[in-house]
Amino acid sequence: MSGQILENSAFEREFGGPKPHYISFHTTDFCDARCGHCDIWKRPGVPSMPRRELAPILRSISRWLGPVEIQVAGGEPLLSKSTEVLLEECGRLHLPVTLTTNGWHLDEAWADKLSAWGIKHVNFSLDGFQEFHDRMRGVAGSFQRVFEAAKRLTGRGAVKPRVTCVLMRDNLEQMIEFTEFVCSDLFDGIFFRR
């Protein structure tokens, strides 16, 4: 995909039909978590999106579709410099963004930047209570890091932390209690995936 292709509306000519409601960027395949339900971290290469292309592509998308939702994920997107370029340009163009992260790397510097760029929705991957979540991630302390990161975002600009949860046979039992727990205070909602 390039900016030129989008500007010429080749997508519409080629495929017809309605325009997309959202566009998803996976800025990197690299991730330092070791989730049992994901094989991205097992892949040998760890390419990131080429940074130089991103701003022109976004400008082209904005001209073509107006304020379409941009979804940003990975791998772990906060480990890629491309994510920074992408989010900053989205902020400049006022494109609504949903960023999905495992939360480990969302420090004060990232929180400041997300707020400054007007990012509204940050979805944290969280699959259950602490023992289960840390075991699924394969990294002790992951649950705690999500909560610390979400607290860091709270009250900063327009950012709203939410949870995205993978439903599995092994976490179904805790889901009602877990949903009440995450939505009772810190998080603005929860999404379930299979």
Chain residues in the site for ligand SF4 (CB under 6 A): 31, 33, 35, 38, 40-41, 74-76, 102, 125
The smaller minimum CB distance to ligand SF4, of residues 64 and 129, is found at 129
**From the CB of 21, what's the least distance to ligand SF4, in Å?**
23
The smaller minimum CB distance to ligand SF4, of residues 60 and 164, is found at 164
Query: Which has the closest alpha carbon to 123: 192, 34, 180, 37?
Result: 192
CB environment 99-111: b (16+ within 10 A), e (fewer): bbbbbbebeeebb
Pair 143, 134: CB distance under 8 Å = yes
**From the CB of 38, what's the least distance to ligand SF4, in Å?**
3
The smaller minimum CB distance to ligand SF4, of residues 33 and 150, is found at 33
**From the CB of 77, what's the least distance to ligand SF4, in Å?**
9
Between CA 165 and CA 144 the distance in angstroms is 16
The smaller minimum CB distance to ligand SF4, of residues 66 and 141, is found at 141
